[in-house]
Amino acid sequence: MRADRGGLGGLGELVAGVPPLLASHLALVLVALAIAVALGLPLAVALARRPHLAGPVLTVAGAIQTVPGLALLALMVPIIAATHGLGLGLSSFGFAPAAIALTLYALLPILRNAITGLAGVDAATIEAARGMGMAPGQVLRLVELPLAAPVIAAGIRTASVWTVGAATLATPIGQPCLGNYIFAGLQTRNWTMLLVGVVAAAALALALDAILAATEHAVSRRPRGNVAIPGAVFAILAVVILGVLPRWSAPAAGPAAATHAAADAAGHPLVTQVRIGAKTFTEQYILAELLRARLEQRGVAVEVVESLGSSVVFEALRHGDLDAYVDYSGTLWTTQLARDRGAPSWQILAEVEGYLGREHVRSLGPLGFQNAYALAVRRETSIRLGLRGLGDLTSHGGTLALGADYEFLSRREWTAVRTAYGLGFRRTVSFDPALLYEAVARGEVDVISAFSSDGRIAAYDLVVLDDPAAALPSYDAMILLGPRVAEDARVVCALAPLRGALPVALVRRANYQVDHDHVAPRAAAAWLLAQAAITETCDAPAPARP
C-alpha cells in the first residue's frame, strides 16, 4: 500500500488517501480482535472453572493494559526479532508485531467480561441443566455461554474501541494505518492531515461498535439462544479477513516471493518494489520522497513506509523488511555501536561503515550535510547572557529551562554533553519535536535540543551553541541499502549519485518549506532535486550492463 503524501494541500486529496489506510487499519484491528476472542474465550471458560487462577491471570492482563500502547507496540519488534531463530517466519516489522501487541491489548476486556459473565450465571440454573442430563460441554454451550453472552459481547465491544484507538500507534513499527496521518500531520505541522486521521479513527471506532451492537441485538432476539450463530459469524469474518490479508501485508510477509519476479543480466534477482523507510520527522519524509523520485525516474516501483521508530527502521533494513532509508552516522555510532562520546567526523564515519559492512548493510556514503543534535537558544538570550558555546551554559544553566525531544534526555549524547560541560538546568521538559522550536521561540523554555539541518533554526532566528569539546558526535546523513537491493544496479545507479550532492543550506530550506510553508514533502523533494548538483555515474535510465 502506498503511503502517498504527494498532495498535502487539499482536504479532498487527504480524504482520498484515507481508504487504503482505513483498510489496513481495519484489517489490523479485526485480526487482533479475532485472535483475542479466539484466545480469550477459551481461556475465560477455563478460568471461570478455576477461580483461584482467574485473579492472577487478570492481574497479568491488566498489567499489559497499563503499558502505554506505543511502548507495547515498539516492544514487540525486539521480542519478535528474538524469535527469528525459532523459524516461525514472522516479520519483526509491520503487521505481525502490531497485530500481536494489539491482541494482548484487547485480551483484558474480553477476558474480564467473559469471566464475569460466566460467573454471573445463576448456579441453580446450571444445576438444573446438569440435573436434566447435560454433559459439561452441553451445559457450557447451551446454558452458560448464551446466558453470559451479553456481558461477553460488551467486553468484545470495549476491546474493539480500544483496539481501533491503539492501532493508530502501529505506524512507527511499519504498519500503515490511520496513525500515518496522525504522525505525519503532527511532524509536519499539517493540522488538517492530523484531524483527518483522528476523525477517521474515531468514525471507525464508532462504526465498529455500532455493527457489533447491531449483531448482538440481532442474535439476542433469536428465540433460541445459541452461540453457534455468533460463533459462525465470527468464524466467517475471520476467514474473510485472513483470506484478504496477504494482499495488504504482502510486502511485510513475503518479500522473498516478490524477489523472484525478474533478474538482471548478472543474474541478480530484481526486487519488484523497493521499500523506502522514513523516521518520524520532516527531513526524513522529504528524503524518502527524494529517494522515491530518483528510483521512479529509473522505472523502479517504490513504496514509502513512513513515521517509523528510530530503532525499528534500522532493524527492518537489516532483516530485509525495508530496502533503503537515510540514517545519520552519529545515530548509528551511539545506538548500534554504543559509543558514549563524540569523535572526529571521519572517525565516526569510518567506524560506522565498518560496522555496516559486518551487518551486510551497504552505505552509499554521506549525502553532504549533517543533522546533528545541537543546543540552541533565542538570539535575545544569547546576547543577554553572552552565550556562544556550550561552555557558557555551565554558569547560567541553573536559571534556564531546557526543552528536549522525547529521546534526547535518555540518549548518550545528553550524558556526554552534560558531563563535558557540567550542565544543569532549572528544569527540563520533553516535547514533541514538532513543537520544540515554537516552544523556545515563545519563551516557554530557554534552551532546546535542536537539529542542525532544521529550517526553523533560521526561521525563528535561533543561535546554535558551539561544541568546542566535540562532546556531541557528528551526524552525517547517509543512504543505507538493505540486503535485497545492495547489489541491485538500478537502485545503486539511482541513489549513489546523491553522495555529497546535498549541502545543509539546501536541506534546511527544504525542511523549512514543509515545516513553515506547508509544502508537501514530495514537492519539497522535487525542489531539492532540482537544486542539487548531481553527476550521474551510470547510463540513465536503463539498467546496468553486464
Residues that bind another protein (CB under 8 A): 124-125, 127-135, 138, 142-143, 146-147, 223-225
CA distance 185 to 434: 10
Cell of 496: 549513489
With H, G, I as helix, E, B as strand and everything else as coil, classify residue 429.
strand
The three-class DSSP label of residue 538 is coil
364: three-class secondary structure by DSSP: strand
Nearer to another protein, 48 or 514 (CB): 48
Between residues 131 and 243, which has the closer beta carbon with respect to another protein?
131
For another protein, the closer CB: 124 or 530: 124
Distance, in Å, from the CA atom of 314 to the CA atom of 228, rounded to the nearest integer, reads 46
* Nearest CB to another protein, comparing residues 228 and 256: 228
Q: Which is nearer to another protein, 142 or 470 (CB)?
A: 142
Name the residue nearer to another protein (CB basis): 86 or 124.
Answer: 124
- Nearer to another protein by Cβ, of 128 and 213: the residue is 128
Torsion sign across C-alpha atoms 531, 537, 541, 543: negative
CA distance 388 to 396: 12
Angstrom distances, CA of residue 423 to CA of 389, 399, 410: 12, 11, 15
Q: Tell me the closest approach of the beta carbon of residue 138 to another protein, in angstroms.
A: 7
CB of 429 to another protein, least distance (A): 57
Residue 477 pairs in a beta bridge with 328
400 within 8 A of 446, measured Cβ to Cβ: yes
Residue 360 contacts residue 439 (beta carbons within 8 Å): no
- How many CB atoms are closer than 10 A to CB 399? 10
Three-class HEC string of 324-362: EEEEEHHHHHHHCCCCCCCCCHHHHHHHHHHHHHHCCCE
Q: Report the relative pairing of strands 301-308 and 373-378 from DSSP bridges.
A: unpaired
Least distance (Å) from another protein to the CB of residue 228? 14
Task: Estimate to the nearest angstrom the gap between the alpha carbon of 162 and the chain centroid.
Answer: 18
Q: How many Cβ atoms sit within 10 Å of the Cβ of residue 355?
A: 15
Cβ distance to another protein smaller for residue 128 or 211: 128
Closest CB to another protein among residues 86, 132: 132
Taking the complex as a whole, the smallest distance from the CB of residue 225 to another protein amounts, in Å, to 4
Minimum CB separation from another protein for residue 40, in Å?
22
In the complex, least distance from residue 55 CB atom to another protein, rounded to whole angstroms: 24
Our CB check for another protein shows the closer of 123 and 338 to be 123
Nearer to another protein among residue 74 and residue 147 (C-beta):
147
Q: Min. distance of Cβ 152 from another protein in angstroms?
A: 14
- The cell numbers describing 521, all together, are 514533502
d(CA 388, CA 377): 10
Minimum separation from the CB atom of position 151 to another protein (A): 13
The minimum distance between CB 231 and another protein, in angstroms, equals: 16
SS (H, E, C) 58-104: HHHHHHHHHCCHHHHHHHHHHHHHHHHHHCCCCCCCCHHHHHHHHHH
CB of 136 to another protein, least distance (A): 9
Tell me how far, at minimum, the Cβ of 56 lies from another protein, in Å: 26
